Amino acid sequence: MKRRSYNDENGLTLVELMVTVVMVGLIIVAIPAHFRSGTGIWEKGERHAEVTQNALIGMEQINRELKQSQSITAISGSGSDNGDIKFENVGGNAAEFRFNSEEEDAYLRHDNGAGTLNRLSGPLTSLKFAGYRADDITETADPKYIKSVLIKMDTHDSQELADDVPLASRVYIGDLLTSGEGEEFAIFGSAGVYFKNNNYVSGNVGSNGTYDPDNPNVGGIYFRQNTEIDGGIYFAPSDEEDGIDYQGSGNSINGGLYPNVYTELPCPTDFGGFSYGTDVTVPASGTMDLPPSTSLYRELTIENKGTVVFNAGQYYFKKINAVQNATFIYNLASGASIEIFVKEDIYIGNNLETGLVESGTPGADLELAARKIYFETHYQNPALEYPAFILSKANDPLKPWVGTVYAVYDDIGFITGEGGGSGLNDVIAYGSFYSGVTLLDPPSDIDDDGDLDYAYGGHVYMETNCEVYYVRSEYFSSLPYGCNLE
């Protein structure tokens, strides 16, 4: 009988067997690690979603109640991470949102007017409430001037698996506050409008400012005497006494009062593509015809009795100074608009005369021409000396101003003194005048004699014997909205 041999059959050596065992062991060890890693990522995602939802619940509640509130009564300010805001809610009850740091984990607590602070959401890392005036730039802790509240809230995960969730929101105070666009005003000052004596406005007047009896040229709409508004008055405060002040007699408003209207002005023109060229001087009693350009010119000076002709198109200047007795001729024969952009200030001295050319005929209709003439200045005056746009008295009803003026960052002033002209004819203007955001701190007072202290952006000052007739600007009404004017 033959013996079977196993020497020619395949098998594992001891070394191969040990390597196989090690590899299998590594795989067995790695599988739970990968499983645990996947589970950790899933848990972190779940926690982040939960923290985010928790944060949104708190922020939405704050937004909803502040929007419906009647007024703010106290606010902690942007300097505090442990924020607190007190307000009168829609029902007229004292309500509050507070960062509660008395626990190991801080939470957002809420009193809905019942007198008890209850946990709403959290835990929180920080909570900030900052109040702002109507310009959305100037922070204030004075409740009567707060028009919006900026809320910043950071929510963290108590299990420390997910990252903090930061949220921010701005709320405009008052459920009845209407937000409008500023295209239908003859006169609008974001901070305030000041009428001195014997003025007339055909069109609406508006302001987002709040009247301050201690500083009547700081905000709101201020009347001294004998001013007639043949249009409506639109103002952001809910009460007339907070938006308007009448110091004298003989004032009349024919179009009604409209409180709780916050007016947004459009975005300014982007000067980024414009550049300076050389200074241009129109000599005394001389005439200069300027072709449109956004790169040829720097400062434009018109000497006594000088005449400058503007043609359809866009111009860019560093500043404009019309000394006195100047004549502006606008050539609108092509039917296109004339748009003049100025980086600094515009000064129009006494006795400006306007000449119009439309379809080749001088003396075209003023209102039709005013639609197509537009001035925009981006002047910001840190010295608090002069407005961005000054229009001096003419003493002649046949020498009107024509066109819209948008002073994005500073004041507009009608400088006519104490009369001296022929009745209500020191300044006659066809167009509209808009003064934008407030950037600087206000002055102390109007002088004792009633002279104006030209203070800071957002005001329109009208002295004596002025007439303004509203005309809608084609260019101004085409500007977009939604920017932050800073």
Return the H-helix or E-strand segment holding 247. none
Q: Give the span between the Cα atoms of 347 and 389, in whole angstroms.
A: 6
Per DSSP, the residues of 4-29 read P--TTS----HHHHHHHHHHHHHHHH
Percent of the chain residues past pLDDT 70, beyond the cut? 77
Question: Above pLDDT 90, what percent of the chain?
Answer: 38
User: Over 50: is that where the pLDDT of 448 sits?
Assistant: no
Q: Which residue has the higher pLDDT, 41 or 311?
A: 311
Which pLDDT does position 233 carry in this prediction?
Answer: 92
Spatial neighbors of 133 by CB under 8 A, at least 6 apart, are 139, 140, 145, 146, 147, 209, 210, 219, 438
Q: Is the pLDDT of residue 282 over 80?
A: yes
State the greatest distance between any 2 C-alpha atoms of the chain, in Å, as a whole number: 147
Residues 225-238 have a mean pLDDT of 89
* Distance separating alpha carbons of residues 159 and 418, to the nearest angstrom: 72
Question: Is the full-model pTM beyond 0.85?
Answer: no
User: What pLDDT does 100 receive?
Assistant: 86
Q: Which residues pair with 261 in a beta bridge?
A: 178
Mean pLDDT of 463-468: 90
Kindly report the number of other CB atoms within 10 A of residue 141's CB atom: 16
